Amino acid sequence: MANITRSWRRFLAVGCSHGHHADQALLKRVLAFKARWKPHTTIHLGDAIDLACLRAGAAGTADDAVDPESDLQDGLAFLHQLEPRLYFLGNHEARLNTLMESPRAIVAALAARVMAQVTDQAKRMRCEVVDYNFQHGWRQIGDCLFGHGYMVNEAAVRDHAEAVCGGTASKVVIAHLHRVMQAEGRNRSHPTGYCVGWLGDKDAMGYAANRRATTSWSRGFAWGEYCDNETVVWLAKETHAGDFRLPI
């Protein structure tokens, strides 16, 4: 019998860094791990910028006064350092596509300018920008689908696995929920879902502070290896001491 050799490559996936809300010390730890791990494929799963002043319901709140320029520049700075090959637009970036059609000219112009800077940065990095789209906003590496994530219920990680896995894809990795977790799907193909958590400051995003679900947020990322038909995913979750226990 012929010896079959599979060439394994490495990946790193992060998400929900949220621009000016990012914890800069945490970003440095992630980048330091990337330098050690040397992934062949690096992925940002979306919400690299926050755009709090453009969210629905921001009018008249503290978010209405947040400077979009500093948020954008912080988000682009991390993307520049991370150098992802894939950048998925999250629901925060997706606001821009909607607001570019706003009847308020100043809002439409701001949204168009921010989106242009995001796409220009991606072009300079030779990074593919993937639209926020439940049907088409996924990319497969090995047997794993990567995307921002769309559902937000308590079983959302499991539900993503059941909804999008199939055929040659038996795993899915998302961000969106701000929780580091893994869940198994309930069908005969045995899909598995993973969520990478978020990279924001624990005291940031005040508009979510009084939601009970916010107490379940955790910070981390995904890393692992893949070949043509399989992917091994490991989740790194921040310890109580604010560090990551990693083998390298």
Model pTM score: 0.91
pLDDT in tens, 166-221: 999 999 999 999 999 999 999 989 999 999 999 999 876 555 666 777 888 999 99
Please give the pLDDT value at position 58.
44
Please give the pLDDT value at position 61.
46
Please give the pLDDT value at position 236.
98
Residue corresponding to tokens 């040659």? 168
Of 160, 167, 158, 222, nearest to 189 by C-alpha is: 167
In the predicted model, residues of the chain with pLDDT beneath 50 are 57-59, 61-62, 64-65
Within a 10 A sphere around the Cβ of 202, how many other Cβ atoms? 12
Residues 6+ apart with CB under 8 A from 37: 10, 12, 223, 248
In this structure, the dihedral spanned by the alpha carbons of residues 32, 36, 38 and 44, taken in order and rounded to 10 degrees, is -30
Please give the pLDDT value at position 202.
80
